[in-house]
Structure 1
Amino acid sequence: MAAVSGTSFAQSSVTIYGRLDVGMNNQKTTLTETVGSLSASAFYKGNNLVNEDGLSTGLLGFKGTEDLGGGLKANFVHEMDLDMDVGALGVAAGRDSTLGLSGGFGEVRLGRSYTPLFSTIGASDVFGTTGAGTVNQYGMANTGVRVSNAFFYTSPSFSGVTVRLMAAQNNAQTDTSVGSAGKTSAQGFSVTYAAGPLMLAVATGTEKGSSVDRFGGLIAETAAAATVAGTAVAAANAKYKGSAISGQYDMGVAKLFAGFTTTKDDNNTTVSGGELTMKETNFGIAVPMGG
């Protein structure tokens, strides 16, 4: 007589990955903002012989999954910046850093990651959001690319349609005399259709409670509107909203990209003169060359 017992072991894996990018470039940027009769300009010239992140962003990352059984998987990812031009680890955080659970319901993640809006904008960018011709979405300083302290949900694909949701709140209040001091919130969602050679996506995102100090001071037509952006009062009343439409079509011999982005920034919704609306239309084509 023999007794046999079986034990089920979860399958897990951890991957270390990265990307290195360094090159030679020269960059000159001039931005001009006009509100009514007032205007201001900001000038920047980057003339280092060697710079980082010319075609892609240098990074070092760790990611892993573990099969929990029953169709459930746990996963994590943590990425860090690598600065090849100075030979340093830029920051140990600031990029994607999430812990999640996936299954038949889709995927839920907690932490810091790309917003649905930025991912949709990037889908229209032939440069992949990094490089000389990359799409730029000004404004929404805190959540224009990634958002922290956030909940993310990605649905399963329903006949090629995928929905992504994001919600975040940071209530680091340090002054109880100011009701909303240090409080920021953000929401966003996107809907993507991908089937065969065609991809279409729409997205929107909103941020409240974090003002942007443009060019060292908010341009305004009234003294009230000139409240320095970043103060508790201005930040509490700040609101930004962005939206995007993106598309791709793979013809085999070439891949077409197109997108339209609009952003509305208001450093203080209680006064006039602080609004800024930005629109961008982009087209691109990628042609495979060789292997």
Structure 2
Amino acid sequence: MGHGCYGRHCCPDQSSVPLYGIAEVACNNSVVTNSVGVKTETHDFITNGLSASCVGFKGEREIASGLKANFVMEFEVDPCTETQAIKIRTGIVGLSGGWGDAIFGRRNALIKDSEYTFDVNMAPTAAGYLGNYARDSQAFF
């Protein structure tokens, strides 16, 4: 006879992996009049204004009494193009317990977005340009 599984202790724990993200998109309408009075109107989308658009996954699971394994994977995306590479913003794994946390990987902080907004070495203007993260790693799909 086979062994039966009765009660809640035989069933595996349910775990969830939340998906989160933000799309930073603005519509720009420009009207320019040239020297002979001809007006030209353009409409375009501007992405990654003060913060880059991103999508991410995070989760944790208790692997022993008082010990949890956790992870975060977050990617920068451009919602206005299909051909741009996906850039990794945060990729961490770790263990958490009553003793604290041990986390390994790459983590972005809010200060990084603020710094890139005004970093004159990242772009051709003094105000900065948030689309050129040359120092960030990239994954091509």
Same fold (TM over 0.5): yes
Q: Deviation per CA, 1:34-54, whole angstroms, max 9, x where unpaired?
A: xxxxxxxxxxxxxx9422111
Give yes or no for the alignment of 1:95 onto 2:97: no
Structure 1 position 19, deviation (Å): 1.1
Q: Which residue of 2 aligns with 1:107?
A: 101
- Unpaired runs of 5+ residues, structure 1, are 26-47, 123-127, 140-145, 149-291
Q: How does 1:121-270 map to 2 (within 5 A)?
A: 121=111, 129=114, 136=118
SS at 1:96 equivalent: strand
**Post-superposition CA distance 1:93-140 (Å, at most 9, x none):** 4210111111112211222113xxx55x46xxxxx728xxx764567x
RMSD value, Cα:
3.9
Match of residue 60 from structure 1: 55
1:14-43 Cα deviation digits (max 9, x unpaired): 111111111146xxxxxxxxxxxxxxxxxx
Residue number in structure 2 paired with 1:224: none
> Which residue, 1, 15, 18 being the options, matches 1:15?
18
- Which residue is 1:72 aligned to? 67
Q: Which runs of 4+ in 1 moved over 6 A?
A: none
Distance 2:66 2:86 in 1: 33
User: Partners of 1:109 and 1:90 in 2: how far apart?
Assistant: 29
Task: Tell me the distance in 2 between the aligned counterparts of 1:89 and 1:82.
Answer: 10
Q: Distance in 2 between matches of 1:55 and 1:137?
A: 13
Residues 80, 90 of structure 1: alpha-carbon distance in 2 compared, 3 angstrom cutoff: farther
TM-score normalised over the length of structure 2? 0.56
Which structure 2 segments of 5+ residues have no match? Answer: 1-5, 29-42, 122-134
Cα deviation digits, residues 171-213 of structure 1 (max 9, x gap): xxxxxxxxxxxxxxxxxxxxxxxxxxxxxxxxxxxxxxxxxxx
Q: Which amino acid aligns with 2:20?
A: Y
What is the match of residue 85 of structure 1?
80
Larger helix fraction of residues: 2
In structure 1, distance between residues paired with 2:65 and 2:136: 31
Deviation track 1:68-114 (CA, whole Å, cap 9, x = no partner) reads: 2311111111122221222x374334210111111112211222113
Which of structures 1 and 2 has the larger relative contact order (alpha carbons within 8 angstroms, sep 6+)? Answer: 2
| Change beyond 3 A, Cα 1:13–1:56 | same
Distance, in Å, in 2 between the alignment partners of 1:10 and 1:21 is: 36
Question: May I ask how many residue pairs the two structures share in their alignment?
Answer: 108
For 1:95 and 1:135, locate their aligned partners in 2 and report how far apart those are by CA, in whole Å. 16
